[in-house]
Structure 1
C-alpha cells in the first residue's frame, strides 16, 4: 500500500500539496459556503427573509425597551 508517485519517472513534482495554512483557509471558505447554501435552502428570496428577521428583532428590542416586561404600559388586571 505504498504511494506510486516516484514510479512515474520524476512527475511527482506535479503533485505538490498546498501548505497547511492555505489548506485551512480553503477548508474554512468551503465551510462558510456550505453554511450559506444550507441557510438558503428552500427559501425563494433569502434577502427578503433576512429583512423580515431584522424587522422582527427590531420590534422585539423596542418592546423590551418600552417596558414590555409587565411594569406599566402593559395589560392591567381589573377586578370589579
Structure 2
C-alpha cells in the first residue's frame, strides 16, 4: 500500500528522506572511525604527539633490528 501525500494535507513535512545506501555506509564508517579515535585517545591530552612518539619508537626498534649482526652473537672466544 502506498502513501498518498497530497491527501494527508501537510504530512509531507513529516516524511524523512533516507540517503542512498552508499552515502549511508560512508556516514556509518565515518562515525565508527570517530568513535574509535575517541576511545583510543580517552584521557590523552595530545594524541598527535603520542602518535608521533610511537612511530619514532617503532622506527628506532626497526633500525636496531636491522643493525644487529646476523649469525653468531658477536663475541668470539679464543682459548689459547
Change (3 A) 1:27 1:68: farther
Q: Deviations over 1:9-68 (max 9, x none)?
A: 142773222111111111011011111111111101112211210111011011111016
Question: What RMSD in Å do the two structures reach over aligned CA positions?
Answer: 2.9
Q: 1:66 and 1:12, CA in 2 relative to 1: closer, same or farther beyond 3 A?
A: same
Q: How has the CA–CA distance of structure 1 residues 18 and 49 changed in structure 2, closer, same or farther, with 3 Å as cutoff?
A: same
Counterpart Cα distance in 1 of 2:57 and 2:18 = 47
Structure 1 residue ranges without an equivalent (≥5): 1-5
Long gaps (5+) in structure 2: none
Task: Specify the structure having the higher radius of gyration (Cα).
Answer: 2
1:57-76 alignment to 2 at 5 Å? 57-67=58-68, 71-73=72-74, 76=75
Aligned length in residues: 71
Residue 3 of structure 1 is matched in structure 2 by none
